[in-house]
Structure 1
Amino acid sequence: MKPVLFTALLAASATLTGLFSQVEAASAADFNWDSSWTQPTVYNKSQTGFNDTPFQEFVQAESVILPNSGQFKLDPTQLNLKYDYDVSVYFINEGAGYRNQLAFDAVGTTNKSGLIFNDISCQGTGCVGDWGGNALKLGDGVKLGNITAGTQLDFWLRSDGLNRGNDANIFGTKTASNPDKLQHTVAYAYNNYILLAFEDLYGDLRASGIDSATGKLNEGSDRDFNDVVVVLDIGEANVRGLIGATVPEPSVTLSMFALGAVSMFGLRRRRQNRTSN
């Protein structure tokens, strides 16, 4: 790892501590996925000027499983904007056989919610997955509009929502809100942006069969958190305002690079899951 890059990552990762730690989070029951939502306009990077290349470093060529650690736990009530900003979300990559969907929720001085990406799939050079679907190109972005100071933002993944619709699992940033009570999102501040990465499969690492606690099917998750990787642009001032004073352990910073591509195990488990559903 280049020393300059490591220093930048270490400083940026300090954001995690102060970013999501003050207010009690909303639960999944407080969020309603509206199936009537339609895909907003998707802008390519030549239109927006966004450069996805620096963030592709976080999508490595091998799968390294992230620890299910409280260090990575996000409290959605902490993603509060201190300044008005025209917020955008950019697609970085995806390593999922599932056709996932992503939505947002804004509560506070701005109150609105909606779909971000209806079909998170890409094919071709640079795409991790390439298992079907060509809805997005690397760096594509969606504008959420002006979000005013004093607003909380949150994000929700509907796992294989394009195919399963209302039967799909919905995973948020708060562990307690998720149907399997596991963490499904990690976040980092980097280059004045926030990187969000999601795990889309129900259940603990490589768990199979029926979850006795919920009656839901475990999906053999590899817990690699690269199924959906996006970047949130809330503005430099807001990111800086959210940076905490405590630097996490080096292992936490280094595991940013665990947002890797799906391994052969990951490839098999997704194909198996798609076959069995």
Structure 2
Amino acid sequence: MKQIFLTALIAATATLTGLISKVETASAADFSWNSSWTQPTIYSESQTGFKDTPFQKFVQQESVYLTNSGQFKLDPSQLKLKSDYDVSVYFINEGASYRNQLAFNATGTTNKSGLIFKDASCDGVGCMMGGGINALKFGDGVDIGNVAGGTQLDFFLKANGLNSSNGNIFGTQTASNADRLQHAVAYAYNNYIILAFEDLYGGLHASGIDSATGKSNQNSDRDFNDLVVVLDIGEANVKALIGASVPEPSVTLSIFAVGAVGMFGLRRRQTRTSN
């Protein structure tokens, strides 16, 4: 009798776990880009006190292939807060020809979404890709407000979103990306999270039509430097994420600078277009 009860309990638990998992997955998958979003207030470093300089060394070199999240300290799809915090996002650099946009989605205890950067491009000394107009400056930040513990944070890049309403949307949840490839990598440093994106559809140097989706591959260099930001989610939350992760032995602090496995001389970028 006890064995029958135990078996039934395990089965019920498995069923409940599956249902919860489906709900959580659906919440992330239900994200949709709102074209009516407006740019929230952008604060400069002089206003926030944040310093971008320590993070610039982690910006991945242009056209240097970066392997996927097995080498990284954190899984960008598991950015779940343990405790309440007023979350901010800071612009570090970008190496994109596109005029990309960045948004967030919070699901769980807190449920909200919104735009972070309407035009995530920069111009000037130190920028990886010049040509931005009304561009972001290093360290510019946006406050997305209080996010309660137990909330999952996901981030989404809309490729060339400033110029095209039909740009591909790539998020921290790999399974939700149209090409089913990873488009974000994450790392913990100095009690912050570094988050970096790849904005081109398809596998490394893939061209032609993706038979699985009918979308065009874009000869991606998979360098994950098309937008690099820093998340301030609070020291306690960063430490909790580190404790929950299982890093590979090869992890180092220089992953974005020297974590590549190959060098490709041809730059894949066309001239940046203006809005």
Same-fold status (TM-score > 0.5): yes
How far the C-alpha of 1:69 sits from its partner, in A, is 5.1
Alignment partners' CA distance in 1, 2:246 and 2:84: 27
Matched, 1:85 2:85: yes
With over 3 angstroms needed to count, the CA separation of the structure-2 counterparts of 1:249 and 1:83, relative to structure 1, is closer
Alignment partners' CA distance in 2, 1:273 and 1:174: 27
Q: Which moved more, 1:119-128 or 1:206-215?
A: 206-215
Instruction: Assess if the C-alpha contact under 8 Å between 1:63 and 1:258 holds in 2.
Output: no
Aligned-residue RMSD, C-alpha: 2.6
SS in structure 1 opposite 2:54? helix
The match for 1:138 is 138
The match for 1:55 is 55
Alignment partners' CA distance in 1, 2:177 and 2:106: 19
How far the C-alpha of 1:174 sits from its partner, in A, is 1.7
SS in structure 2 opposite 1:161? coil
Alignment partners' CA distance in 2, 1:231 and 1:247: 21
The match for 2:154 is 154
Alignment partners' CA distance in 1, 2:133 and 2:272: 17
The match for 1:187 is 186
Alignment partners' CA distance in 1, 2:114 and 2:150: 19
Deviations 1:191-232 (A, max 9, x none): 000000000000111111111111111111000000000000
Specify which structure has the higher proportion of helix. 1
Deviations 1:73-96 (A, max 9, x none): 8363x3221211111000000000
The match for 2:250 is 251
Instruction: Assess if the C-alpha contact under 8 Å between 2:85 and 2:233 holds in 1.
Output: yes
How far the C-alpha of 1:64 sits from its partner, in A, is 2.4
The match for 1:129 is 129
Instruction: Assess if the C-alpha contact under 8 Å between 1:25 and 1:75 holds in 2.
Output: no
Q: Which runs of 5+ in 2 are unaligned?
A: 1-20
Alignment partners' CA distance in 2, 1:35 and 1:259: 36
Q: Which runs of 5+ in 1 are unaligned?
A: 1-22
Percent of matched pairs sharing the same residue: 70
Alignment partners' CA distance in 1, 2:96 and 2:62: 14
Instruction: Assess if the C-alpha contact under 8 Å between 1:25 and 1:174 holds in 2.
Output: no
Deviations 1:161-187 (A, max 9, x none): 11111x111111122110011110000
- For 1:74, the aligned partner's letter is D
Paired positions, count = 248
The match for 1:265 is 266
The match for 1:217 is 216
- For 2:58, the aligned partner's letter is F
SS in structure 1 opposite 2:43? coil
Alignment partners' CA distance in 1, 2:206 and 2:247: 29
Deviations 1:253-272 (A, max 9, x none): 35332479x97523xx2218
With over 3 angstroms needed to count, the CA separation of the structure-2 counterparts of 1:204 and 1:49, relative to structure 1, is same
Alignment partners' CA distance in 2, 1:151 and 1:245: 15
Q: Which moved more, 1:211-220 or 1:227-236?
A: 211-220
The match for 2:197 is 198
The match for 1:74 is 75
How far the C-alpha of 1:108 sits from its partner, in A, is 1.8
With over 3 angstroms needed to count, the CA separation of the structure-2 counterparts of 1:187 and 1:99, relative to structure 1, is same
Matches within 5 A, 1:220-239: 220-239=219-238
Alignment partners' CA distance in 2, 1:246 and 1:144: 25
With over 3 angstroms needed to count, the CA separation of the structure-2 counterparts of 1:134 and 1:265, relative to structure 1, is farther
Matched, 1:177 2:164: no
TM-score, structure 1 length as denominator?
Answer: 0.81
With over 3 angstroms needed to count, the CA separation of the structure-2 counterparts of 1:110 and 1:55, relative to structure 1, is same
Instruction: Assess if the C-alpha contact under 8 Å between 2:102 and 2:116 holds in 1.
Output: yes
How far the C-alpha of 1:242 sits from its partner, in A, is 1.6
TM-score, structure 2 length as denominator?
Answer: 0.82
The match for 1:94 is 94
